[in-house]
Structure 1
Amino acid sequence: MLSKEIIVEKIKSYKPCEKCNKPLPKSIPIEKLNLKNRKETCECGKRHIDDVMLNVYEIIDNFGEFNRKEVSLKDIGVPLIEVGYPLKYPPVLRENELIIMTDVSKDCTKEIVKIKEIKGVLSTNQKFSTNSQDINKLLFGDDFRCDVFPLGNDCIIVCKNQSKVHIEFPRPFDPKISKIKRLNLKGCY
């Protein structure tokens, strides 16, 4: 379990500094991206989420697990930061702050979690399984994360093992959270 103070600190740490790499286009094939001037790690000690996903791509590609020739960042998998919050910018990451949802083999997964920013890998479908229980199954690592839903001057923090529940990623306006707010349950959330 993470304290509210640690969660707030983690959210603040996702903000890139002035020297961090800028976001990459998500729909352009990776082979067509200009990656020449990108730093592996910024002076601030963090890595842009896109750069971490490029490392994931390299591993999946080395294992020959892409079914198509042109792959873009959005094709690699779904990145889930350890503390989900409606950020105004793509996050930069420290060690063990990212869970990836992708469809890869167990051997590939074991290599992906060697990337220091990766905390765990979840499966997304049955490409390597015939069992429907393998959807969102934790393949390797840790899948504990939190989602923070702003609620006026307070918030609702939902901590979970992501493989056990549906993804509800926070956004600036969430109709479910608005319904809870209208219930006026003082101190109960």
Structure 2
Amino acid sequence: MTESSMTPDSRAFRNTIGLFATGVTVITTEIKGEVHGMTANAVASLSLDPMLLLASVGKKARMAGLLQEASTFTVNILRADQESLSTFFAGGWKEPEPPPFQFAGWKEQPQMGMTRLENVLAAIACVKHEILEGGDHWIIVGRVVALHQGEPPRSPLLFYGGRYYQLYVTKEHPAPPRRDM
């Protein structure tokens, strides 16, 4: 049975958009020598030329204020086995000790003081390009300045329908060729 609504409310919207599977990231930034992080799945590629990405951060989130102040940030894409990091950086960690993780600097941009999480699937370092109004969220646009791809296997942590999932490829099909390149 399917559910349809001509006058959606915020819960119905959240449940519907939750059917769009996304990867799970931790956005990190460094302010005055201290690294801060926040779990986010509202992250997307915006442009190839120039290379831009966007991240959507709730205006009430602590990270929203930090990103207003910061000049750089990193989007860390989590591996399938890093659900604990997602929970920790989302503020839902219940254990007395945090899960094991370490931060690393970017060899490509050492002068910028940026950090990334070690052992993630991938990481994208950005210089803050623009902050846009987006309802109850800020849309943080970053200009990509460095890329990191972790070691194989490259299996992402996924978020779908309010739950975590892992991707197991059983059959692979190539995407159609791009016509805009």
Same fold by TM-score greater than 0.5: no
- The structure where helix makes up a greater share of residues is 1
- Shorter-chain TM-score bucket reads under 0.3
